[in-house]
Amino acid sequence: MPLPTPFHSRTSAVCDSYEWRNWSGYLSAGIYEMSHDREYYAIRNSAALIDVSPLYKYEVTGPDAARLVDRVITRDVTRQRVGQVYYTPWCDTQGKVIDDGTVSRLDTNHFRVTSADPSARWFQDVGYGLNATVTNVTDDLAALALQGPLSRAILEQVVAGIDFARLAYFHLAHGTVDGFPITITRTGYTGDLGYELWVRPEYAERLWDCLVDKGSGYGILPAGIIALDVARIEAGLIMLAVDYVSSRHAVIESQKSSPYEIGLGWAVARKKGDFIGRRALATERAKGSTWGFVGVQYDWNALERLFADEDLPPHVAGRASRSAVPVYEAGNPGRHIGQITSHTFAPILKQYIGIGTVLNPHAQIGNRVDVEVTVEFKRKLCPATIVPTPFFDPPRKKA
Amino acid sequence: MSKNNDYDAIVIGGGHNGLVAAAYLARAGKRTLVLEKRHLVGGASVTEEIFPGFKFTVFSYVVSLFRPEIIRDLNLPAHGLTILPLESTLTPTYDGRDYLYRDGDHYQTLRNIARFSQRDADAYDEYARYMYFMAKAVRYILGIIPPDPTTFNPRDMMGMVDMARHFLDLPQDQLYVLAKLMTMSAADFVEQWFESEPLKATLSASGIIGTFLGPRSPGTAYVLLHHYMGEIDGAYRAWGFHKGGTGGLAETLARAARAQGAEIRCNAGVARVNVRNGRTVGVVLENGDEINAPLVFSSLDPKQTFLKLVEPTALPDDLVNAVRRFQTVGSSGKVNLALDRAPELACRPGVGRHLAGAISMSPTLDYIERAYDDAKYGNFSKEPYIDVIIPSMIDPDMAPPGKHVMSCFVQYAPYKLADGEWTDAKREAFGDAVVDVLERAFPDIRSLILHRQVLTPVDIERIAGITEGNIFHGELNLSQLFFLRPAAGHAKYRTPIKGYYQCGSGTHPGGGIMGAPGRLGALEALKDGA
Q: Which of residues 102-121 of A touch B (CB under 8 A)?
A: 118-121
Overall average pLDDT of the B237-259 stretch: 94
CA A88 to chain centre: 11
Over range B312-320, report the average pLDDT. Answer: 94
Among B121, B133, B171, the residue with its CB nearest the CB of A118 is B121
> What pLDDT, on the 0 to 100 scale, is given for residue B163?
86
- Report the pLDDT averaged over residues A34-47: 97
CB contacts of A26 in chain B (<8 Å) are 107
Q: B129 and A1: CB-CB below 8 Å?
A: no
- Chain A residues whose beta carbon lies within 8 Å of the beta carbon of residue B119: 120-121, 124
| Structural domains of chain A, with CATH | 8-53+141-223 (3.30.1360.120), 57-138+258-287 (3.30.70.1400), 291-396 (2.40.30.110)
Q: How far is CA B55 from CA A95, A186, B391, B393, B445, in A?
A: 56, 65, 9, 13, 18
Binary contact (B106, A25; C-beta < 8 A): yes
**If DSSP states are collapsed to H, E and C, what string results for B221-283?**
HHHHHHHHCCEECCEECCCEEECCCHHHHHHHHHHHHHHCCCEEECCCCEEEEEEECCEEEEE
Cα gap A247→A254, rounded to integer Å: 10
Check: CB of residue A373 under 8 Å from CB of residue A381.
yes
Which residues sit opposite A152 in a β-bridge?
none
CATH topology of domain B9-53+68-83+243-327+474-527: FAD/NAD(P)-binding domain (3.50.50)
Average pLDDT, chain B: 94
Rounded CA separation A215/A213 (Å) = 6
Asked if residue B403 has pLDDT above 70, the reply is yes
pLDDT band at B237 (very low <50, low <70, confident <90, very high): low
Largest Cα span, chain A: 68
Q: Contact B122/A120, CB-based, under 8 Å?
A: yes
Cβ-contact B325, B363 below 8 angstroms: no
Q: What is the CA radius of gyration of chain A?
A: 21
- HEC profile for chain A? CCECCCCHHHHHHHCCCCEEEEECCEEEEEECCCCCHHHHHHHHHCEEEEECCCCEEEEEECCCHHHHHHHHECCCHHHCCCCEEEEEEEECCCCCEEEEEEEEEEECCEEEEEECCCCHHHHHHHCCCCCCEEEECHHHCEEEEEECCCHHHHHHHHEECCCHHHCCCCEEEEEEECCEEEEEECCCCCCCCEEEEEECHHHHHHHHHHHHHHHHHHCEEECCHHHHHHHHHHCCCCCECCCECCCCCCCCHHHCCCHHHHCCHHHCCCCCCCCCCHHHHHHHHHHCCCEEEEEEEECHHHHHHHHHCCCCCCCCCCCCECCCEEEEECCEEEEEEEEEEEEEEECCCCEEEEEEEEECCCCCCCCEEEEEEEECCEEEEEEEEEECCCCCCCHHHCC
Across the range A145-168, mean pLDDT stands at: 98
Amino acid at A253: E
B404 three-class SS:
strand
User: What is the predicted pLDDT for the residue at B226?
Assistant: 83
Q: What is the pLDDT of residue B264?
A: 98
Is pLDDT larger for residue B114 or for residue B65? B114
Shortest distance, CA A54 to any CA of chain B (angstroms): 11
Distance CA A334, CA B428 (A): 71
Cβ within 8 Å of residue B222, ≥6 positions away: B181, B182, B207, B476, B478, B481
Judged by average pLDDT, the poorest of B130-134, B237-241, B418-422 is: B237-241
Interface contact A24-B129, CB threshold 8 A: no
Interchain contact, B119 vs A124, CB within 8 Å: yes
Q: What is the rounded average pLDDT of the residues B406-433? A: 97
The amino acid present at A261, given as its one-letter code, is E
B123/A124 touch (CB, cutoff 8 Å), yes or no: no
DSSP state of B426: H
* Prediction ipTM score: 0.91
Name the residue facing B108 among A25, A121, A251 (closest C-beta).
A25
Taking an 8 Å cut-off on Cβ atoms, the answer to whether A121 and B119 are in contact is yes
Residues of A within 8 A of B105 (CB-CB) are: 1
pLDDT (mean) for B234-248: 86
The candidate with the shortest Cα–Cα distance to B511, out of B39, B22, B142, B204, is B142
**Cross-chain residue pair A119–B122, CB shorter than 8 Å:** yes
pLDDT tier for residue B169 given thresholds of 50, 70 and 90 = confident
In three-state form (DSSP H/G/I as H, E/B as E, the rest C), the secondary structure along A356-394 is EEEECCCCCCCCEEEEEEEECCEEEEEEEEEECCCCCCC
Identify the CA nearest to A104 among candidates A184, A47, A44: A184
- By the 8 A CB rule, do B326 and B302 touch? yes
Rounded CA-CA distance B353/A56 in Å is 29
Separation of CA A128 from chain center: 30
Tell me if A249 and B129 make a contact (CB, 8 A cut-off): yes
Q: What is the C-alpha separation between B203 and A203, in angstroms, rounded?
A: 41
With b meaning 16 or more CB within 10 Å and e meaning fewer, what string describes A325-359? bbbbbbeeeeeebbbbbbbbbbbbeebbbbbbbbb
- Which pLDDT belongs to residue B1? 36
Residues paired with B9 in a beta bridge: B32, B295
Nearest beta carbon to residue B118 from set A24, A120, A248: A120
Identify the band that residue A316 occupies on the pLDDT scale cut at 50, 70 and 90. confident
Confidence of residue A315 (pLDDT cuts 50, 70, 90): confident
Q: Under an 8 A CB cutoff, do B110 and A1 touch?
A: no
Q: Under an 8 A CB cutoff, do A25 and B122 touch?
A: no
Q: Find out whether A327 and A371 touch, Cβ atoms under 8 Å.
A: yes
Q: Taken in order B153, B159, B162, B168, is the CA torsion positive or negative?
A: negative
Region at B282 (left for phi over 0; alpha for psi -120 to 50; beta for the rest): left
Percent of chain B past pLDDT 70, that is, above it, reads 98
Chain A residues whose beta carbon lies within 8 Å of the beta carbon of residue B196:
none
The residue of A22, A23, A53, A121 whose CB has the most chain B CBs within 10 angstroms, and thus the best one to mutate to test that interface, is A121
DSSP letter at B307?
I
Give per-residue pLDDT as tens, B119-129: 999 999 999 99
Q: Which amino acid is it at B385?
A: Y
At residue A179's C-alpha, the angle toward residues A178 and A181, to 5°, is: 105
Query: Residue B232 has what pLDDT?
Result: 65
**Separation in Å, CA B520 to CA A248, B504, B516:** 37, 10, 6
- Residues 17-76 (A) with a CB less than 8 A from some CB of B: 22, 24-26
Alpha-carbon span A173 to A106, nearest angstrom: 9
B2-38 per-position pLDDT tens digit: 457 899 999 999 999 999 999 999 999 999 999 999 9
Q: What is the identity of the amino acid at B522?
A: A
Cβ neighbours of residue A232 under 8 Å, at least 6 residues apart? A189, A190, A191, A239
Are A248 and B122 a contacting pair at CB < 8 A?
Answer: no
Q: Do B107 and A22 touch (CB under 8 A)?
A: yes
pLDDT given for residue A302 in this prediction: 97
Q: Which residues of A touch B107 (CB under 8 A)?
A: 2, 22, 24-26
The confidence band for B50, taking pLDDT boundaries of 50, 70 and 90, is very high
- Whether B123 and A121 lie within 8 Å, measured CB to CB: yes
**Interior CA angle at B89 toward B86 and B92, to 5°?**
145
Q: How many CB pairs under 8 A join A and B?
A: 36
DSSP state for residue B146 in the 8-state scheme = P
Which chain B residues are Cβ-neighbours of A124 within 8 angstroms?
119
What average pLDDT does range B446-472 have in this prediction? Answer: 97
- Which phi and psi (to 5°) does residue B94 adopt? -60, -40
Question: For residues A24 and B109, what is the distance between their CA atoms, to the nearest angstrom?
Answer: 11
Closest approach of A251 to chain B, Cα-based (Å): 8
**Chain A residues touching B111 at Cβ < 8 A:** 3, 25
Rounded distance, CA B369 to CA B377, Å? Answer: 13
Smallest CA–CA distance, residue A248 to chain B, in Å, is 7
> What is the least distance, in Å, from the CA of B107 to any CA of chain A?
5
Q: E strands, B323-448, where?
A: 332-339, 358-361, 385-389, 404-411
Would the pLDDT of B280 be above 90? Answer: yes
Contacts of A253 in chain B (CB under 8 A): 171
* Predicted TM-score (pTM) of this structure: 0.94
B106 contact residues in A (CB cutoff 8 A): 25
Phi, psi of A19 (to 5 degrees): -95, 100
Rounded to whole angstroms, what are the CA distances from B369 to A49, B117, B212? 55, 22, 11
Rounded to the nearest integer, the mean pLDDT of chain A is: 97
CA-based nearest residue in chain B for residue A119: B122
**How far is the CA of B236 from the CAs of A254, B64, B317, in angstroms?**
21, 9, 41
Say how far apart CA B443 and CA B454 lie, in whole Å. 20
Q: Do B125 and A249 touch (CB under 8 A)?
A: yes
Measure in Å the smallest separation between the Cα of A366 and chain B Cα atoms: 37
Residue with the bigger pLDDT between B13 and B158: it is: B13
Query: Which is nearest to A180 in space by CA: A150, A206, A151?
Result: A206
Give which of A200, A176, A197 is closest to A185, Cα–Cα.
Answer: A197
Using the predicted structure, report yes or no on whether residue B311 has a pLDDT greater than 50.
yes
**Are the CB atoms for A85 and A103 separated by under 8 Å?**
yes
Using an 8 Å Cβ cutoff, are B203 and B364 in contact?
Answer: no
Distance from C-alpha of A177 to C-alpha of A106, rounded to nearest angstrom: 19
Average pLDDT, stretch A36-45?
98
Q: What angle do CA B324, B330, B335 make, to 5 degrees?
A: 160
Q: Give the gap in angstroms from C-alpha A174 to the nearest C-alpha of chain B.
A: 29
